[in-house]
A = this chain, B = another copy of it.
Amino acid sequence: MNLEGLRVMGIDPGLTRCGLSVVQAGRGRAVLPVAVGVVRTPSGDDLALRLLRLSRAVGEWMDEYRPDVVAVERVFERGNVSTVMHTAHAVGVLILAAAERGVPVHMYTPSEVKKAVSGNGRADKKQMTAMITRILGLSEPPKPADAADALALAVCHCWRAPMLFRQRAGLIDGRVSAAKRRTPSPDNHDRSFPS
């Protein structure tokens, strides 16, 4: 399967800071950076106004960069209750912006992103930033952290998408699918760094 040219938007969701990125799949495992940024909404503002601002900002990004797919970080119930709920409200608005434009959405957990990008599901921020800088051939590390996370989500989707397609294709023939599951994973190259 050839993903060359696939445009992926990565979103690290948040209401105070929401990381946005756009990358494009190149040949093999190459990924090219297109855009990266952070949308901020003041924490003192009304929740409805903040969601409206976020919706409009991400909508403008989608209309400008026309991604083929959006990768969003999956939110869990941990940390400050109010922050988690605000982030979950933001995720609803972000997914809706994609759905309104007919752009499919994939969600990844933080450990899935870390594993796909660095090979280690427990990589720290420093390691992740170093990997993203190297993978995308950036002259300096992306800042702030939300921007780096958004890039990592987009790279994660570029590298995992072929595997998702293969998994779905495998489901067409149950026996083949079962046989594949019994075979030791041949997918290690999906988590290694391109040479």
The CA of A75 and the CA of B85, in the complex, are separated in Å by 8
Check A104 for interface membership: any CB of B closer than 8 A: yes
**Residues of B contacting A93 in the complex (Cβ-Cβ under 8 angstroms):** 92-93, 96
Number of this chain's copies in the complex = 2
Chain A's interface size range is 20 to 34
The A interface, classified by DSSP as helix, strand, loop or mixed, is helix
Chain B proximity mask over A70-91: 1 for CB below 8 Å, otherwise 0: 0000011100010011001111
The CA of A47 and the CA of B93, in the complex, are separated in Å by 12
Beta-carbon contacts under 8 Å, A1-50 to B? 47-49
**Residues of B contacting A47 in the complex (Cβ-Cβ under 8 angstroms):** 95, 105, 107
The CA of A128 and the CA of B91, in the complex, are separated in Å by 32
Check A154 for interface membership: any CB of B closer than 8 A: no
Check A99 for interface membership: any CB of B closer than 8 A: yes
Check A171 for interface membership: any CB of B closer than 8 A: no
A residues in contact (CB < 8 Å) with B: 47-49, 51-52, 55, 75-77, 81, 84-85, 88-93, 95-96, 98-100, 104-105, 107
- What 4 pairs across the A-B complex have the smallest Cβ distances? A92-B92, A89-B92, A88-B88, A48-B99
